[in-house]
A = this chain, B = another copy of it.
Amino acid sequence: MGELPPQVQNMVAQLQQIQQQLQAVMAQKMQVEALLKEASEALEEVQNAPEDAPIFKVAGSVLVKVDKEKIIKELQEKKETYDVRIKTLQRQEERLKDRLNELQKKLQSMLSPQAG
């Protein structure tokens, strides 16, 4: 890359930075989606349980018996929190993808000025 003009080198560095940010955001989104799936499955299982079925909550290395209504509310709140975080990460992902496309177009027009 030593032969590229400084302006192009700078743009390539920006591109790489944005790609790294995009990868980090997508990895985070996948993690939160897994947590959402887990909470959804737990909620479904609790809701499908008979009214008087004992339910325990895992908290680290301890299990505590919980009230059915309380754990349903807790899991629903968890799901909403995860939903909000996923939407935030999705917006960040889209913005980064837009900037990536923009930069790639600019870079292409700089590298083939005759086509500009």
Say which residue of B49, B56, B60 sits within 8 Å of A39 (CB atoms): B60
Residues B58 and A46 in contact, CB atoms below 8 Å apart: no
Count of chain copies? 4
State the CA gap A42–B46 with chains docked (Å).
20
Q: Closest chain B residue to A68 by CB distance? A: B64
For the residues of A in contact with B, the DSSP-based class is: mixed
CB-CB under 8 A from A65, the residues of chain B are 49, 53-55
Closest 9 CB pairs of A and B: A42-B60, A45-B59, A38-B60, A56-B63, A42-B62, A53-B65, A42-B59, A58-B61, A54-B65
Given A45-B62, A54-B56, A55-B62, 14 more pairs with CB closer than 8 A = A39-B60, A41-B59, A42-B60, A45-B57, A45-B60, A45-B64, A46-B59, A46-B64, A49-B65, A55-B64, A57-B62, A57-B63, A62-B71, A62-B75
Can you offer 14 A-B residue contacts whose CB atoms are under 8 A? A39-B61, A41-B59, A42-B60, A42-B61, A44-B59, A45-B62, A45-B64, A46-B59, A49-B65, A53-B64, A54-B56, A55-B64, A56-B56, A56-B62
